Amino acid sequence: MKKLLISSLSLIAIVDAVAQNNVDQLQNNSGDPIVPLTSEPMIGIIFPILFISFLVFMLISVVKYFLEFRLKNKMIDRGMTEKILDYSLNKNDDNKFDDVIKLAILFCGLGMGLAITYLAGPINILSIAIMAFSIGLSFLTYFFYLRKRKK
């Protein structure tokens, strides 16, 4: 079932990435040209990137879960107790909270970068520089957060 789901999602991602929207050739039954729902170029760029990144994140999570499960089973077969395995394989609550904070700071930085990119005008090399700067600033903020938390 998982293979079918991953295969279908990857097929959808490939079709979405390769699909082209040629408005000049699209017409309805009366011969009038069909106007696309949105004329924003950002929508055509952001949605495929978000979809593919979400797909990659899901794939990495599934592979990580599967490999940890196999490692745990092999360690149990060799005679380790489950209490020791849970302690060695699972993160504690502080690390989970830090991961959530990291993702929140990163997504806030991405959102601000996308907003600045949208307000800055057409998509060009400046947009990439703005996004790189906002992501870097997000990680710097997370670094200062960890440093303050460890004191």
Question: Rounded to whole angstroms, how far apart are CA atoms 73 and 78?
Answer: 9
Q: Which residues of the chain have pLDDT under 50?
A: 22-25
| 66 and 132 assigned to the same domain | no
- What pLDDT does 30 receive? 61
User: Which is it for the CA torsion 5, 11, 16, 17, positive or negative?
Assistant: positive
Question: Quick one: residue 4, left, alpha or beta (phi over 0 = left, psi -120 to 50 = alpha)?
Answer: alpha
Residues 12 and 85 in one domain: yes
Residues 77 and 110 in one domain: no
pLDDT (0 to 100) of residue 56: 85
Note the pLDDT of residue 141: 94
Does 143 lie in the same domain as 130?
Answer: yes
What pLDDT sits at residue 140? Answer: 94
CA distance 130 to 4: 38
**Tens digits of per-residue pLDDT, 64-98?**
888 878 887 887 788 877 777 666 666 565 677 78
